[in-house]
Structure 1
Amino acid sequence: MTIDWGTELDLLTGLLVLVGLVGVVVQVLPGALLVAGAVVLWGVLQGSALGWGVVAAAVAITVVAQVAKYLLAGRHLQRGGVPNRTLVWGGVAGVVGFFVIPVVGLPLFFVGAVYLAERLRLGEHAAAWRSTVRALQATGLTILVELAGAMLVVAAWGVGLLAR
């Protein structure tokens, strides 16, 4: 049984998708999951084969993008000699920083912790700064991969909208 949810569902899905895309770039919200969740909800509520096809595509694309972002970032860091524990320190500090200084604290504390961890590990400024830049590049790479995946999910939803 298919139910016509009308334009309201399309508009709500579009709004959630926009918020999710901003979340991917700003890294405050789990943006890719929000985009996928909105599109999955849209597809399920369509109750049709087309809707379920969009759901399958959204889930598959999101899973592939999430796995790819970690693999690519990990490879980038490994090539630069940055250990995983440095990123763990950076991530923990970023979360703390987000609450200490909302929004801007996350990147500031992340960069500061990565630099400090690498400075302690390597003992010199130049090498620590190179590792910090490498970690920032890996972070940017994850954002780009996640954004590309989210945009593909949006494209699948768009195809579903047009085909409906």
Structure 2
Amino acid sequence: MSTLAVVETLVALVVLLGLVGVVVPVLPGSLAVGGAILVWAAYVGTTTAWVVLAVAVVLLAAGQVAMYLVPGRRLRAAGVPGRTLVLGAALGVVGFFVIPVVGLFVGFLGGVYLSELARVGSSRAWPSTVHALEAAGLSMLIELTACLLAASTWVAGVVLT
């Protein structure tokens, strides 16, 4: 097996790990995908490789911007304040360490619900929590789409080089 094949195999594994990292928030998804493509471009060193890297970075950066702007706009329209998400994130971090695997999601859900319960009462707390969960899911979907597009760009670059 040539050195290039080994590098491409390792990069593919890290890209795959990055894609999993988008869904499992423990791993840095976009960062892993972008970093792996950077390593590949540096190793290959052709103009095509650097163009592939540039396109992948633009896709990942656009995904990062969109994953905060789009859900944030929807949450503001639904009347869910930023402090609710901050509390949800904080309890999500606590939940991550307390309950293996699902603690992040349970903590986020509980934090958002408790914050909204204190803010608007029991009748409107659950609908606000659902809006926050939908926004978190949309954010994850946007990042996953950006990572998949960057990974597809890399695959095309491997085929072209």
TM-score, normalized by the shorter chain, greater than 0.5: yes
Query: How many Å separate the matches in 1 of 2:42 and 2:3?
Result: 11
CA-CA distance at 1:102 after TM superposition: 2.2
The structure 1 residue matched to 2:43, chosen from 38, 42, 45, is 45
Deviations 1:14-69 (A, max 9, x none): 11111111111122211121111111111121111111111111111111100001
Q: 1:132 aligns with which of 129, 132, 144?
A: 129
Quote the residue 1:73 is aligned against. Answer: 71
Kindly state the Cα deviation for residue 5 of structure 1 after the two structures are TM-superposed: 4.0
Q: Distance in 1 between matches of 2:4 and 2:123?
A: 58
The gaps in structure 2 that reach 5 residues or longer are none
Q: Secondary structure at the match of 2:67?
A: helix
Which residue identity lines up with residue 22 of structure 2 in the other structure? V
Code of the aligned partner of 2:56: A
Counterpart for residue 143 of structure 1 = 140
Select the residue among 135, 159, 162 that pairs with 2:156: 159
Q: 2:61 aligns with which of 45, 48, 63?
A: 63
Residue segments in structure 1 that go unaligned for 5+ positions in a row: none
CA distance in structure 1 between the aligned counterparts of 2:50 and 2:3, rounded to whole angstroms: 15
Deviation of residue 157 (structure 1)?
0.2
Contact 1:115/1:132, CA 8 A, preserved across alignment: yes
SS of the residue aligned with 2:54? helix
Can you list the C-alpha shifts for 1:57-105, whole angstroms capped at 9, x where unaligned? 1111111100001000101101110000000000111111111112211
Q: Which letter maps to 2:142?
A: V
User: Please, what TM-score do these two structures have when normalized by structure 1?
Assistant: 0.94
What amino acid is aligned across from residue 138 of structure 1 in structure 2? A
2: CA distance, partners of 1:44 / 1:71: 32
Which AA in structure 1 matches 2:62?
V
Mapped partners of 1:38, 1:142: distance in 2: 22
Q: C-alpha separation between the residues in 2 aligned to 1:147 and 1:53?
A: 21
Post-superposition CA distance 1:117-137 (Å, at most 9, x none): 0000002x2310000000000
Identity across matched positions, percent: 49
Number of matched residues?
160
Scaled by the length of structure 2, what TM-score is found?
0.96
The alignment partner of 2:149 has SS state of helix
* Distance (Å, rounded) in 2 between the aligned partners of 1:40 and 1:139: 28
